[in-house]
Structure 1
Amino acid sequence: MNYLKAKYLGVVIMIFVTSLKAQVDIIPQPMEINIGENVFTLNYKTAIIASGKTDNSVKFLSAFLEKGFYRKPKHKKKGNGIELVLSANLKAELGKEGYHLKTTSNNVKIEAATETGLFYGIQSFRQLLPSDFETQIYSNKSLEIPGVELKDKPRFSWRAFMLDESRHFKGVAAVKDLLDQMALLKMNVFHWHLTDDQGWRIEIKKYPKLTEIGSHRLDTQSSRKSPERVGAPHEGFYTQEQIKDIIQYAQERHIQIIPEIEMPGHATAAIASYPWLGVLGTTKDVSVTFGKLDDSFNISDDKVYEFLTDVLSEVFELFPSKIVHIGGDEVRFGTWENSKEIQNKIKKEGLKSPADLQIFFTNQISNFVESHGHRMMGWNEVLGDQVHEWDEGSNMNVNEKLSETAIIHFWKGSLDLIKKAVINGHDVVNSLHSMTYLDYDYKSLRLSKAYSFDPIPEGLEEEYHDKILGLGCQMWSEWIPEVKQMENQVYPRIAAYAEVGWTMKSNKNYENFIQALVKLEKRWELSGINYHEGFD
């Protein structure tokens, strides 16, 4: 492939320029790298040396070695080979997710304080192997691995990828493929956007119409601000059994899944299923258009609150993660201004505005979530700050204060709002849209721009840095119906975000990243992933 040859030539030039600096083609770049002279020979006779406490890591390591050598490696408790060691005393130095990897002429030793750390050490070991190792075209009986020593741990604890499936359903296979690539890149949170105006994608046993009606739409808007439609229905949802299967798949890859159940806005699909949920009383169909829609859950009605808590109760039972995302973005307060029921609720509770009511409602949900041993997360509108041009001053007068336990998912507005949030006690995940939205084209969000993102805003006092949990990158799917389109938007930018989340800021180097990316893209190509070609 001519494009790949050109990239390899560029890499040779970069290697010459940076030859005095240790470089290992691993994404995300490890914290410490030392390169030695020893070489370890890996072949089908190489055994895995480990105790029974590392069963999941042994299983994963064995599976990919078998792909390369077409034989399952032997598992021993002693001897030479690839040694997996759990060492609790490493926690102080490397934390729960860090690892130490060292290759010598006799063995490869991966040690960590936890199985998560071992798993991430294995991911780095995978990237030391040829790009084609896990494919059917690999035929070498043995290979040499250079002597390296890695000490590694992540910069941030929250390294997330979000998939919006409300707008376009992708299915089990696509989700598992994404989880595989997240695991390789040491990303640990899959944020699953399952409900919105254009589709309800999660089975709720108590309310079957949510999927019987809410998972189907009759047509789809073909492009922005266009009256044209694609001319075909769109549908799909996950049964609870499918969700359990995906959760187990993610857990085996040390990824927690954070479900997002939108409220009080972005609720058209639910309201079409049960019209009594809405404010307007006119919503009959799942939306075929995108954008900010006027209807929302009628949070002045106790029955609607009961519905939402019923849904959340089933979500709690399904998802082992202790965090639930409730959206909270883009509520059209003009609708609430014109609703007699909503206005009566504002007066009854002694509130000042629609924004004040949203905070009041969000605190109710937060209290419910916490009473069930969970924690609430929401987009930064839940704070009551004005971030949209359509919000008028009178709508934004607030007395209520959001519960400090709520995690703020920042996506829009002045970066000063992050500082305000952390000073008020909130943990923050930074997903500033101009830097992290994967539906944006490569002209507006280049690979280099994605790589340059720092979740800690410039000027934020160091005492608040630990309140920034990390980052998320978001794959919104309004205009991206097909999996191959989605892949082109995600890859290679997801690799940049993986390095943003994991690699210490002082170790980041875009040229080194591009060099390592060549090898990773070869792996993607052989796996059939439709990555976007071309660097900045």
Structure 2
Amino acid sequence: MRTSYGLVQSSRSARPSPRKLAAVTAALALVVGVVPAASATPQAAATATAGLVPLPVLVEEDTRARPYVIRPDVSIVAPGAAAPVAELLADELRAATGYRVPVRPRGHGIRITVDPTARYTVDGAAPTAESYTLDVSHRGVAITARTPHGAFNGVQTFRQLLPAWAASPTPVKHDWTVRAVHIEDAPRFAYRGIMLDVARSFQDVDEVKRHIDVLSALKMSVLHLHLADDQGWRIEITNDGKAEGDPIDYTALTRVSGATAMNERGHRQELGRTGYYTQAQYRDIVAYARERFVTVVPEVDVPGHTNAVLHAIPQLNTDRSLPARDAGTGVVPWNGTANVGYSALDERHELTYTFVEHVFRQLAELTGGPYVHIGGDESHAMGHTRYVDFITRAVPRVQAATGVGTMGWTEYAEAGLAQGPGYWDGSVVQYWIGSGDWVRDFVAKGGKAVVSKADGAYLDQKYGPTTPIGLSWACRTDCDFPKYYNWDPTTTVSGGIPEDAVLGVEGPLWSETIRGGDQAQFLALPRAASILETGWTPAARKDVTGFTARLARLGARFAVSGVNFYESPAAAWAASLAGTDVTARRGVAARHGLGLVAAPGTKTDGRAITPDTVDTDGDPASGSALRGPLTATATCAGVVLPVTFTQAQPRDALHGAGVYTAGVEAGFTRDTTCVLTPSAGDPVSVRVRVARGGDDRADRQAPTLTVDDTVRAGTWVPLTLTGFEPGYVDIRIDGVTVYTVRADGEGRFQRHGVIPATTPTGARTITAVQGERTASAAVEVTG
């Protein structure tokens, strides 16, 4: 039966009386968006540092002062060099609040000042290029810095002081208040890096930009891009500016090895992702990073990890290059395995150095940064003598060709042991494993060290034995964020190095098991936050208990912004609620979302959100600030309706809870107001606007599969799927599943797929299968 007073209740929902759990047995006080942390860390909700990662040098809160409130007429005052930074903040506030948030050169509100002569101190010390002060009172906000980079850092801290829903990509109803606080801050180290391996499995431009957004908010200052490895080559190199007599066609690097990737170790047999960046796309990434004060360091690994190079460039295959070339093709076969140490360039071949100079010259010109990274790790097959010969010849030639410093992994420091003082001036060694003696020799000869010790910084390691992706050679048991927090770069290098020898820290994220940006986020976060705080916060201020409490508050912001992070059981993740206005079709009974709940570490049966403390339900056990079920009701036009909770991506082995939509089944005949009441905490009011029109949902497209008519066994071929649902799609040859791929948000896959070398020749059928949705193509397989 349907009512007629402004609201039509769906026939699928009976009208219940409101249910409220007592506060002592309910979740926590869900106060229009902020849930205090669990009782294990009660101070987190009351301190000014709650949610601040990395921890600033000095934080002082005036608990008696009124907070600052962001109102619809808010503006950001940012004259001169502060304006670009202000626009980044304004973009976020506009999206979440729906306010105009103009950026003006003068006025009142949120003021950002860049003044090279600004007089302030950071806990008594002189200001630096990245330092800032931040003051919040009921009258306004003031961020002061000597450089735009410092102002950007101050803005990131201010963003963390805001409610988690300030990160929402769409407008929400929330109380936009900020505590009164004074902060003085500056980094410990200039280099605070994260490395993305896009060589083994590619990540596209948008995915890389997403990483930059998320990690620069944690004050990452360097993005290290691992652009080439045995499995693939990911950056366009042109033939422009070739040395006289150079016979190499550099466009083959992407034409051939841009179409290869890992073909093992993916979750659910997902194939590694192919692709590459054009030079225009790479410049776009660099510019995007620069706007967020992130320096890009490009890496092409030499002399090892070069199978993709040798597969693409015949002229580099010699009797001494490794592995041996195929007699028929003149190049090495592609290799999509995770094997390491088997490939190497010929260190006696002059064309090897012509190639190295040309590639790094273009990379340096495209990047415009202070370093290029030459790799230099795991060149096992060529032996010690050959390796040292290559490095000692390549480093000065790369430096001369590029005009910038070189970086390399621990092994490349060994090549300087026999050299004199100043040999490593302007260069950097990245310590990941091995002898501390090499590192100390390196810095004694003018270099600096970036510390990435594998057992506490490698982000590609499993969190624990049941994590479905990741490796475990460096960290085998408890590899959660506390372990990645509890180390120091001056002591983790065997034998220790002085503070002034350390340029900074980096968390490398290798991609043997990663397929796509969501899986990269899952392995990186929250452990990347541990590493970045180590690079920022003074050692004396670091404390894993305090970090855990602050991180637990930050988790809701991650969820609201769509970050797929590992919801560690080591943290009691806070929860948060916001309302959402609704546009409904007149008289049409449907589900309408009235609110959003960010509650990391939880799950839902549709009726309630509860902590997920078990690992027997297909996803990891987690931690939550909720102590019991969270339910809700909604009162719309005097009718009390039950609220149910849904997720766009249910929590599973590789995805967190994300954001729940709190919705009702109802139809509306006129504009009204609904009051969403959680089982504990204050209600939130949302508007329902009724619009005319029918259902405009488009029919789903029939699935299609496109592949070449003739394909060769053992090669990668263009593969396009359309008309599928987002998610995994089985690829079968004659009915046998050979691997999976993932369709994107539009149900498409457009990369390369591999025809296994074991595929029999002759007429075959390739089929894409996703539940009842299938598409097939007949092909002729050749040998």
TM-score range, shorter chain: 0.7 to 0.9
**1:101 is matched with which residue?**
134
- 1:423 is aligned to 2:444: yes
1:33 lines up with 2:56 in the alignment: no
- CA-to-partner distance for each residue in 1:162-213, whole Å, 9 max, x for gaps? 0001111011121111000111101110000001110000000111100011
Larger radius of gyration: 2
**Which deviates the most, 423-432 or 9-18?**
9-18
Normalised TM-score (structure 2): 0.60
Aligned to 2:204: 171
- Of residues 11, 14, 25, the one that matches 2:41 is 14
For the pair 1:208 / 2:251, whether they are aligned, the reply is yes
Q: 1:479 to 1:121 in 2, by over 3 A?
A: same
Q: Work out whether 1:403 is the aligned partner of 2:401.
A: no
Mapped partners of 1:100, 1:219: distance in 2: 46
1:358 equivalent in alignment to 2:385: no
Question: Which among 112, 115, 123 is matched to residue 145 of structure 2?
Answer: 112
Distance 1:28 1:139, change over 3 A: same
| CA displacement, residues 394-437 of structure 1 (integer Å, 9 cap, x when unaligned) | xxx97456534321111111344433332333200011111110
The structure whose residues are more often strand, as a share, is 2
CA–CA separation in structure 1 for the residues paired with 2:315 and 2:493: 47
Question: Distance in 2 between the 1:323 and 1:57 partners?
Answer: 25
Contact 1:195 1:260 in 2 (8 A): yes
Aligned: 1:433 with 2:454: yes
Unpaired segments of 5 or more residues in structure 2? 1-24, 120-124, 240-249, 326-330, 465-474, 571-783
1-structure distance, mates of 2:36, 2:76: 37
What is the CA RMSD across the aligned residues, in angstroms? 3.0
Is the CA contact 1:164–1:194 (under 8 Å) kept in the aligned structure 2? Answer: yes
Task: Look up the equivalent residue of 1:144 and give its one-letter code.
Answer: T
Query: In the alignment, is the contact (CA less than 8 A) between 2:361 and 2:398 conserved in 1?
Result: no
Query: Per-residue deviation at 1:360?
Result: 1.9
1:480 positional shift: 1.8
Which residue of 2 is the match for residue 529 of structure 1?
Answer: 563
Tell me the equivalent position of 1:66.
94
- TM-score between the two structures when normalised by the length of structure 1: 0.86
- 2:442 is paired with a residue of what secondary structure? helix
1:227-263 Cα distance to aligned partner (Å, 9 max, x none): xx95957421111111111111111111010000111
Match of 1:261 among 286, 290, 300: 300
Letter in 1 for 2:80: G
- Who is 1:498 aligned against? 532
Deviations 1:9-34 (A, max 9, x none): 75444234997x76342111110011
Alignment partner, residue 310 of structure 2? 271
Once residues 215 and 74 of structure 2 are traced to their aligned partners in structure 1, the CA distance between those partners, rounded to angstroms, is 27
Per-residue CA deviations over 1:86-124 (Å, capped at 9, x if unaligned) read 232348722011100001221100000000011111111
Distance 1:181 1:433 in 2: 23
Partner SS for 1:93: coil
Deviation readout 1:18-67 (Å, 9 max, x if unpaired): 97x76342111110011013221211212212212222112112111211
Identity %: 29
C-alpha distance 419-18 of structure 1, shift in aligned 2 (>3 A): farther
Structure 1 unmatched runs, 5+: 338-352, 386-396
Q: Secondary structure at the match of 2:362?
A: helix
Q: Please, which of 292, 295, 301 is the counterpart of residue 343 of structure 2?
A: 295
Q: Which has the higher helix share?
A: 1
Distance in 2 separating the partners of 1:295 and 1:102:
55
Tell whether 2:511 aligns with 1:481: no
**Is this contact kept in 1: 2:460–2:523, CA < 8 A?**
yes
The residue matched to 1:235 in structure 2 has which SS?
A: coil
1:52, 1:442 → 2: CA distance? 45
Residue 78 of structure 2, aligned match among 30, 44, 50: 50
Task: Give the aligned partner of residue 469 of structure 2.
Answer: none
Displacement after TM superposition at 1:71 (Å): 2.5
Pick which of 496-505 and 211-220 moved more: 211-220
Contact in 2 for aligned 1:98/1:112 (Cα 8 Å): yes
Note closer, same or farther for the CA distance 1:275–1:336 as it changes in structure 2 (3 Å cut). farther
Q: CA deviation at 1:463?
A: 9.0
2:504 is matched with which residue: 463, 470, 480?
A: 470
Q: Distance in 2 between matches of 1:313 and 1:218?
A: 25
* Aligned CA distance change for structure 1 residues 219 and 499 (closer, same or farther; 3 Å): closer
Matched, 1:87 2:130: no
Letter in 1 for 2:353: Y
Q: Does 1:122 align with 2:170?
A: no
| Aligned-partner residue type, residue 65 of structure 1 | L
Secondary structure in 2 matching 1:94: coil
**Partner Cα distance (1:484, 1:275) in 2:** 36
Contact 1:185 1:495 in 2 (8 A): yes
The equivalent of 1:374 in structure 2 is 404
Q: Amino acid of the residue matched to residue 235 of structure 1?
A: T
Q: Quick one: structure 1 residues 366 and 466, their matched pair in 2 at CA, closer, same or farther if it must change by over 3 Å?
A: farther
Distance 2:85 2:348 in 1: 50
- 1:216 Cα offset (Å): 2.0
1:152 CA drift (Å):
0.3
Q: What secondary structure is seen at the aligned counterpart in 2 of 1:500?
A: helix
Q: Distance in 1 between matches of 2:164 and 2:310?
A: 48
1:448 aligns with 2:482: yes
| Whole-Å separation in 2 of the counterparts to 1:376 and 1:327 | 9
Moved more, 280-289 or 258-267: 280-289
Q: Structure 2 vs 1, CA of residues 398 and 356 (structure 1 numbering), >3 Å: closer, same or farther?
A: farther
Distance 1:534-1:503 versus aligned 2 partners, 3 A rule: same
Please list the CA deviations of residues 58-81 of structure 1 after superposition, one character each: whole Å capped at 9, or x if unmatched.
Answer: 211211121122132233333321
Which residue among 205, 208, 220 is the counterpart of 1:187? 220
- Which amino acid is the alignment partner of residue 61 of structure 2? I
Number of positions where the alignment pairs a residue of Structure 1 with one of Structure 2: 501
Write the letter of the residue equivalent to 1:360: T
SS in 2 for 1:457: helix
Q: Please identify, of 69-78 and 376-385, the stretch whose mean Cα deviation from structure 2 is larger.
A: 69-78
> 71-80 vs 153-162, which deviates more?
71-80
